[in-house]
Chain A
Amino acid sequence: MTFETVLASIFSAAFIATIIRASTPIILPAMGGLISELAGVINIALEGIMLTAAFFGVVVGALGPEWLPGLPVWVYPWLGALVGVLAGLILTLIIAFFHLELGADVILAALAINILASGGTVFIMFALTGDKGSTSTLASPAMPSIIIPFVGSIPVVGQIFNGENLTGYNIITYAAFLSVALVWLFLYRTRLGTHLRAVGENPVAAASVGIDVKRVQYIALLMSGFLAALGGINLSMGYLTLFQTNMTAGRGYIALAAVFLGNRNPLGTLIAALIFGAAGALEAQLGTLNIPSQLITMIPPIVTIAALVIYNVRRQAQMAANARKFQEKMESEHKVV
């Protein structure tokens, strides 16, 4: 492919579709990260939970027909997703138990889970398939896609709403965008969500009005685990239809960056996740050029760093502007006196 065709493809409706696909496995864990962060128990194991869920989703989805023959074919991917999510929840529960019951540091507990997930998935994969790289020997199913009717024939719009090949988006992509609205509603319009934010901001005050801090933090962690697990399922049963060693490639951490870049609220986090998704999509497009792949895989992390730098530079500029404004005001007041 020439540079021109790559450029053309970047400025196209199809590229927007690519961004939407690439953002899905960042938006979901980012929403999870947001909830855990606001509850004061930041879950940095999003990465490991995604990886584990992605792995078990594929394994159960692919080997389900062997283990439980006779079910309708459409059941197996759902069964895989269910088991994947359960595996993610179990890992989250381990973190929650170690942190909330035994007093372990939440960062260290989560770090351990990340290491366990990255080694454990490869270990089981090798035991099952004899392959340490991917599950390409298994015939793994994908979660269904949804095609929005009627818009397909409209140019551009059709591609945006139903993907570049008009095959529709994976159901989990819809779940991702829906989750942003639901998380917002949950955090700001429900009792539990309000309690969660109170616990994160001042746990002693929350406890003093009878809020069960530990219970709220359990729920927050489990919600973050659930959302991260969905993101993992999307990777291996939507974005791709196989499991690869460490296929999350840092998305769990990028999701955390999105939480802070997005100023710890759902809409901001969504926007940040879309920016990171766009960087990932760009990486995929440029991969077709004759540029060393190492350089191209550096795009998402560079965008992350650049975004954080820009954010902080802008904040400091804002502060300096405030200081200047204030000084000018002081000076003009003095002239009056």
Chain B
Amino acid sequence: MPQLVDMRNIIKVYPNGVVANRDVNFSVERGEIHALVGENGAGKSTLMKIVYGLEQPTSGSIIFNGRPVKLQSPHQAIDFGIGMVHQNFMLIPSFTIAQNIVLGHEPVKGRLLDTKAAIRITEQLAQEYGLDVDPTAKVEATPVGMRQRVEILKTLYRGADLLILDEPTAVLTPQETDDLFDAVRRLVAQGKTVIFITHKLIEVKEISDRVTVMRHGEVTGRVQTAEVSEEDIARMMVGRDVLFRIEKPRQQRGEVVVQVKGLSYVSPTGRPLLRDVSFQIHRGEILGIAGVEGNGQTQLAEVLSGLQPPTTGEATIGGQSVLGRGPRHVRQAGVAHIPEDRLTNGVALEADIADNLVVDRYYRSPFARRGAMSLRQVRRHAEQLMQKFDIRAAGAEALMGSLSGGNMQKVIIAREFSADPVLLIAAQPTRGVDIGASEFVRRQLVEERNKGKAVLLISADLAELLTLADRIAVLYKGEIVALFRSRPDLSEEELGLYMLGLKRQLPEQRE
């Protein structure tokens, strides 16, 4: 088959000296689904930004459709028929779906917008490619799966022949993922070409024809998907054998230490985001929370960590009521929190590692004496934790912003675990963290559980929940609709039915 894109000897050096691509050769054939895999920082995003005109290569050439091209901007890439569906959706929340799809190329009647034409175009496209959307719904009120279809339709409206999907399944349920895969296959059947960026290897096997693997800015493998196993791909990605299984000894369940009763939270705009949530966590137990993004997980973590007061309900830790008096009170009662959005709520990017490690304890001995901070103690503390948690950085005074995602997460984990909590809330602890660091984080969570801590694990990664959690609760529209004891026959698909609201347990069925 003829090659649609052929990138040759691409080298990309960023102004700060980081080499993102070292002599990369990458090609995609017309009509194929090509998976591009690699850990965070492997250079796959940079490579795709170059194809999409967002970055210019330091050297190397791009041949598109048989002709050498220079892509200076996304605008040009779009003109060549290249479309990209970004991981963070590029949508305007207050606009309707039709408005979002035509944004930048709106149909006009005279000098004014032709709203009806926009709706008609959206309906036609949706029908042609079997991507169901509601043209007049506002994006902010639509579920994640639909937003993704909007993104795909957006690229198709702009005439894309080559679609780049950047980790499209990260936010989807298994059912939505199946729908997406169906849609991708339909697109290819209609003559489109798809580049599929992911680090879920099971998806690589399921959807792609060929796969290119990257590590440290280089291509380490280019194979026909059918000829390799997941383990082979993982080895190319990480450069060593990867343990997919995590040792998890039988649960030594202790007494109930966390009691959450009737927790509700209504947003400032009046939307109920948590509805009468009640559960218990025992010592030595990991309670997993599953759910499609935006079904109350974020609010649950924020309320329990004291960042938001609940509208109704209460939570007790070891019998002591903790909510409503702010995060410090909650922390002092023994709650630690690994926040979902680590860049905003987890670390101070402009401060150094040592300071980030004491933000929850700087006011206590031995760090504070008569109101003055002991910098020596802060430094010693940082060095100990950096060693214990294998934080790789130039030193304790390295700025947080200079660390990789994985090391940043290790700093947060070091701080939260060393607080010796009763309850540990971990929200999406491995999101955006590479395979090696994810392994570390997961092992640490299990170790905390084995030490007798209560862990609340909120994760969009169902495989992770099924591996780590002792019980799994499913949140749907802010409500717990199911509570399972973890067992081998509990499948992702089964959880998915509850996550989508297609099934719900009766109260007496909860385990």
Chain A residues close to B by CB (< 8 Å): 185, 189-191, 194-195, 197-198, 201-202, 204-211, 315, 318-319, 322-323, 326-327, 330, 334, 337
Contacts and interface: CB of A to CB of B under 8 A. Distances in A.
Contact of A322 (B89, B93, B105, B270): B270
Contacts of B204: none
B92 A205 contact: yes
Contact of A201 (B74, B75, B93, B106): B93
The winner among A195, A206, A207, A210 for most chain B CB atoms within 10 A is A210
Interface string B76-100: 0010000010100111111100010
Nearest to B268: A319
Interface stretch (B107-115, B253-261, B339-347, B351-359): B107-115
B75 A210 contact: yes
Interface string B103-125: 11110100111000000000000
A259 B84 CA distance: 36
Interface in B444-477: none
Contacts, number: 80
Contacts of A194: 95, 99, 103, 106, 113
A319 B112 CA distance: 37
A201 B268 contact: no
Given A195-B103, A206-B103, A323-B311, 19 more contacts: A190-B111, A194-B95, A197-B92, A201-B94, A201-B95, A205-B90, A208-B84, A209-B105, A210-B73, A210-B74, A210-B104, A211-B104, A315-B268, A319-B266, A319-B268, A322-B266, A323-B264, A326-B264, A330-B276
Closest 3 CB pairs of A and B: A322-B270, A209-B104, A205-B90
Contacts of B275: 330
B312 interface: yes
Nearest to B86: A208
Given A189-B112, A190-B111, A201-B92, A210 B78 contact: yes
Contacts of B89: 205
Given A318-B270, A319-B270, A327 B91 contact: no
Contact of B113 (A189, A315, A327, A337): A189
A222 B276 CA distance: 51
A318 B276 CA distance: 21
Given A202-B90, A326-B264, A190 B112 contact: yes
B106 A204 contact: no
B92 A202 contact: yes
Contacts of A191: 106, 108, 113
B266 A323 contact: yes
A326 B103 contact: no
A210 B264 CA distance: 42
Contacts of A315: 268
Interface in B187-235: none
A207 B92 CA distance: 12
Contacts of B99: 194
A204 B86 CA distance: 11
Contacts of A334: 276
Contacts of A189: 112-113
A264 to B, nearest CB: 11
B318 interface: no
7 contacts: A208-B86, A209-B104, A210-B74, A210-B78, A319-B268, A322-B270, A330-B276
Nearest to B104: A209
Contacts of A208: 74, 84, 86, 90
Contacts of B154: 209
B272 interface: yes
Contacts of A322: 266, 270
The winner among A201, A205, A326, A327 for most chain B CB atoms within 10 A is A205
Contact of A209 (B90, B94, B111, B112): B90
A190 B113 contact: yes
Contacts of B92: 197-198, 201-202, 205-206
Interface string B267-280: 01010100110000
Given A189-B112, A323-B266, A202 B103 contact: no
Contacts of B106: 191, 194
